Amino acid sequence: MKPTVNAKDVAKLAGVSQSSVSRVFFDGAKVTEKTRQKVLAAAQELGYRPNEYARSLITNSTKIIGLVMKGIQNPFYPQVLKQFTTSFKKHGYSVLFVHTNNDEIQNEDIETLLNYNVAGVIITDATMSLNVAEAFKKNQIPLVFFNRKLTTSNFYSVCCNNLSASRKIAEFLAARDDGLMVYISGNEDTSTSREREHGFAEVLERRGIPYQKYTSDFTYEGGYKTAQQILSEGDAPTAIFAANDIMALGVLDALRKQGVNVPEQTKVIGFDNIDMASWPAYELTTWEQPIEKMVDETVNYLLGEIDEYTGFAQAVEVDGTFVERSTT
């Protein structure tokens, strides 16, 4: 096994002090150009890399962004993780992925983030108590809720414009039929599910079109079982709007297994435009979340706050795009 090279080894080869080596690899530290070149040459020859984690314990900061995610079974979020990792890498940052098994972030998840001295935090499909969120603010660690909103306006959030999107989905369906419509929600304590339901119901109520709500959990299995329940209670509805694509795919498979023709008997619409939505087996009509724009908004905010913390809070909403395919 190759022995680990440390700063002392570099200092010895370069003929400088160990503190000089530390200054060369510390942003903003003063060091002469002659010393810098000697240290860099010695480091290259020895294959030395500074220990970022050890340095973070001294500076109390890292080039690490914590990203907390629960729904890894939902293909939307691995796409989000990939986008964030790629974007932060361009800026010299790494992403620390923290998977939580609960709807609300647990103490051990918080400890992981704090122990790594993360420079910023992104919360995706999990919730966080206000006390914990305030603790991050108190420590001047910028925090963004991605594809989520809190009931308070004290924190920065980035979401698709869910209300506008669900209104347009309802208008699209209402223009084609006035029969019973169904909305399948995800977890009801999430802002995304609530807003998608609100916009959808608002339009249908105004037009006098009957609709029914079923509660699920943002999973394929949840969509499949909910569709089975709907069919067990009577005839297939005119249309089904599922709060995300992976549930909509479960709905499609359940309908087809029961011999319900889509879109002739029932139209189906999802939300997200995950890669699977365009597969020939599904060709799902959906609302595309503008992931790239949402990620850019989040990254730009975090980098600005890391550079100079202000605690600025805003609920940013980005418009998406309706994608019509064969299920409507």
Share of the chain above pLDDT 70, in %: 90
Task: For residue range 176-187, list pLDDT tens digits in order.
Answer: 999 999 999 988
Range with the poorest average pLDDT among 163-167, 186-190, 221-225, 258-262? 186-190
61 pLDDT band (50/70/90 cuts)? low
Task: For residue range 208-256, list pLDDT tens digits in order.
Answer: 999 999 999 999 999 999 999 999 998 999 999 999 999 999 999 999 9
47 pLDDT band (50/70/90 cuts)? confident
- Residues of 185-213 as b/e, b for ≥16 C-beta within 10 angstroms? bbbeebbbbbbbbebbbebbeeeebebee
More reliable by pLDDT, 138 or 266: 266
* pLDDT value of position 231: 95
3-state SS string over the chain?
CCCCCCHHHHHHHHCCCHHHHHHHCCCCCCCCHHHHHHHHHHHHHHCCCCCHHHHHHHHCCCCEEEEEECCCCCCHHHHHHHHHHHHHHHCCCEEEEEECCCCECCHHHHHHHHHCCCCEEEECCCECCHHHHHHHHHCCCCEEEECCCCCCCCCEEEEECHHHHHHHHHHHHHCCCCCCEEEEECCCCCHHHHHHHHHHHHHHHHHCCCEEEEECCCCHHHHHHHHHHHHHCCCCCCEEEECCHHHHHHHHHHHHHCCCCCCCCCEEECCECCHHHHCCCCCCEEEECCHHHHHHHHHHHHHHHHHCCCCCCCEEEECCEEECCCCC
Mean pLDDT of the chain: 87
Residue 132 has pLDDT above 90, yes or no: no
* pLDDT value of position 29: 64
The mean pLDDT of 42-50, rounded to a whole number, is 80
Are the beta carbons of 251 and 227 closer than 8 angstroms? Answer: yes
* pLDDT value of position 26: 63
* pLDDT value of position 247: 97
* pLDDT value of position 103: 64
CA–CA dist 252, 249 (Å, integer):
5
* pLDDT value of position 229: 96
* pLDDT value of position 321: 97
58 pLDDT band (50/70/90 cuts)? very low
Residue 28 has pLDDT above 60, yes or no: no
The mean pLDDT of 296-308, rounded to a whole number, is 94
Q: Are strands 120-123 and 64-69 parallel, antiparallel or unpaired?
A: parallel
Task: For residue range 250-260, list pLDDT tens digits in order.
Answer: 999 999 999 99
Task: For residue range 196-208, list pLDDT tens digits in order.
Answer: 999 999 999 999 9
The mean pLDDT of 5-30, rounded to a whole number, is 78
The mean pLDDT of 87-94, rounded to a whole number, is 91
The mean pLDDT of 48-53, rounded to a whole number, is 64
Around Cβ 31, how many Cβ atoms within 10 Å? 17
CA separation, residue 5 to residues 30, 45, 276 (Å):
24, 11, 47
What the chain holds in terms of domains, given with CATH numbers, is 7-50 (1.10.260.40), 64-160+291-322 (3.40.50.2300), 162-288 (3.40.50.2300)
Around Cβ 104, how many Cβ atoms within 10 Å? 13
